[in-house]
Amino acid sequence: MIATILDTGFRIDETLRARIAGFNRRDDVATLIRPGGIGIELGVAAGDFSQRIFERSQIGYLFSVDAWAGDRGHGTAQYMEAIVRLNAYRDRNSILRMRFDEASHLFGENSLDFIYVDGYAHNGEEGGKTFWEWYPKLKQGGIIAGDDYHADWPLVVSAVDDFVARNGLELFVIECSEDSWNSRYPTWFAFKP
């Protein structure tokens, strides 16, 4: 058994710790998603990581959310690319073109098994607001994760560290060794107890 939910909450056992210690790709975190689980990626760009989530997990349904507002090169061209890329998964995927705060109202508390935040590294995911807004929507034993946990993005590191500490979570970091344009920076994640 990899992890169990006890009366005292979620517990990470040594088998899971050993598995995590071997992670070296951003998308390794997707292998931890509960089979049939429901997840969301906040910050989709061209849809590459949403596609990787499908390829690396047994996720039941994934919501892919991005505003594609034209800022930082994320506009209509990337939105169209994401639609094409994720078309093969259309029976298990919804692409939502809206801001993260707008999308949050569509999801109830304890409704998601996986949340991946890859949005606004330049402002620390809005000073951590994204983490706090979405965390109540995560089920016990679910995973909150994100990208850009690196000194090049000090506001992200600060926001993640604060969020993890204030929630009493254990932080895991994947030092990505994959040579890919979107895997240059470490991925962080934590399980909700």
Domain parsing of the chain, residue ranges: 22-191
Structural element, H or E, at residue 156: helix 154-167
Lowest mean pLDDT among 18-22, 129-133, 145-149, 177-181: 177-181
Residue 61 pLDDT more than 60? yes
Which of 4-8, 119-123, 156-160 is the most confident on average? 156-160
Q: Where are the alpha helices (DSSP H) in 9-128?
A: 14-21, 48-56, 76-86, 100-104, 124-127
Residue 39 pLDDT more than 70? yes
Q: What does the pLDDT average to over 171-178?
A: 87
Confidence of residue 15 (pLDDT cuts 50, 70, 90): very high
Instruction: Please give the Cα distance from 11 to 30 (Å, whole number).
Output: 19
Confidence of residue 180 (pLDDT cuts 50, 70, 90): low
Q: What does the pLDDT average to over 29-57?
A: 97
| pLDDT of the residue at 178 | 63
- Model pLDDT for residues 74-131, shown as the tens digit of each residue: 889 999 999 999 999 999 999 999 999 999 999 999 999 999 999 866 665 777 889 9
Local structure of residue 32 (DSSP, 8 states): G
Which amino acid appears at position 106 of this protein?
A: L
Contact 61, 90 (CB under 8 A): no
Confidence of residue 4 (pLDDT cuts 50, 70, 90): very low
Instruction: Please give the Cα distance from 36 to 31 (Å, whole number).
Output: 12
Local structure of residue 6 (DSSP, 8 states): E
Contact 146, 160 (CB under 8 A): yes
Tracing tokens 């078309």 back to the chain, one arrives at 87
Residue 183 pLDDT more than 70? no
Confidence of residue 17 (pLDDT cuts 50, 70, 90): very high
Q: pLDDT: is 2 or 99 the higher one?
A: 99
Q: Give the pairing type, strands 38-42 and 112-117.
A: parallel
Q: Domain 22-191 class?
A: alpha beta
